[in-house]
Amino acid sequence: MYDDFSADYDRFVDWPARLAAELPFIERELQAVGASRVLDAACGTGMHTIALAQRGYEVVGADLSAGMVERARANADAADIDVRFETAGFGELARTFAPGNFDALLCLGNSLPHLLTPESLAAALADFAACLRPDGLLLIQNRNFDAVMARGERWMEPQAYRERETEWLFLRFYDLQPNDKLTFNLMTLRREEAGTWEQHVTSTRLRPLRQAELTASLAEAGFDHVTCYGDMTGAPFDADRSPNLIVTARP
């Protein structure tokens, strides 16, 4: 899905607005542990990685999608900043980079729910711990699946983008399945000069990761000082109403 979507991902995300909203919280958490060396796991097109590098952090990015990594490298070139990006997924990070080399590891953008079994989640969290120095920072950003599953929420807010005479619409929705998994669908609609809309749908499987399971899995992986927030302002987590589940923890 993400190789297929990498060319349009930066049209889908309003990066100036997102970074303005999220970076103050991220930097506050990084500063709390004196972080300078940061690993952005599941970095996508690298925009958080690049923004942190521009602020003086020694940051590298990794993503399982080769298409996303290619786009991240192009974005770094366009920003005229030297950032290392590697194609590596969860479970491969400590082998790709030096173990214990990072003060902080970021896992943003609802990435962990792509792990479809408790065993793969445990392996990913062990990999995160292996990357971090003692008392480093793990910062996770997921959707609040407690609320999604309780209410059967299928649709997310549409996104629109225009570039000269070309328009894009992005529609996201879940297919809820009886085995407590989801299919995440992304429909891209595109048209030239107010012509006929062309559409393309890509999909991937997700396992809705609720707060109780994530915090328990972090404890089993040896993390402590686990704190949950409801968004990137640092608001308290409310399982019924928070849009996101933000978790910080220390190995």
Q: Residues 120, 61: one domain?
A: yes
Q: Residues 182, 222: one domain?
A: no
Strand 132-143 relative to strand 84-87, pairing: unpaired
pLDDT at 35: 98
The CATH number for 181's domain is 2.20.25
- Taking 50 as the pLDDT cut, the residues of the chain under it are none
Measure the CA dihedral 115/45/88/101, to 10°.
Answer: -110
pLDDT at 178: 80
Number of domains present in the structure of the chain: 2
User: What is the per-residue DSSP string for 6-52?
Assistant: TTTHHHHS-HHHHHHHHHHHHHHHHHHTT--EEEEET-TTSHHHHHH
Q: Residues 108, 136: one domain?
A: yes
pLDDT at 171: 97
Q: Residues 159, 219: one domain?
A: no
pLDDT at 194: 83
Of the candidates 163, 165, 184, the residue with the CA atom closest to the CA atom of residue 173: 184
Q: Residues 34, 129: one domain?
A: yes
Q: Residues 77, 198: one domain?
A: no
Which structural domain range is residue 78 located in? 2-146+208-250
pLDDT at 36: 98
Q: Residues 51, 157: one domain?
A: no
DSSP state of 236: B
Radius of gyration of the chain (CA): 18
User: What is the per-residue DSSP string for 194-226?
Assistant: T-PPEEEEEEEEE----HHHHHHHHHHTT-EEE
Q: Residues 39, 85: one domain?
A: yes
Q: Residues 151, 228: one domain?
A: no
Q: Residues 166, 230: one domain?
A: no
pLDDT at 180: 85
pLDDT in tens, 224-251: 999 999 999 999 999 999 999 999 999 9
Measure the CA dihedral 91/124/175/72, to 10°.
Answer: -60
Q: Residues 69, 163: one domain?
A: no
pLDDT at 154: 95
The CATH number for 65's domain is 3.40.50.150
pLDDT at 210: 98
pLDDT at 172: 97
pLDDT at 133: 97
In a 13 Å sphere around the CA of 44, the CA atoms on its Cβ side amount to 17
Q: Residues 141, 173: one domain?
A: no
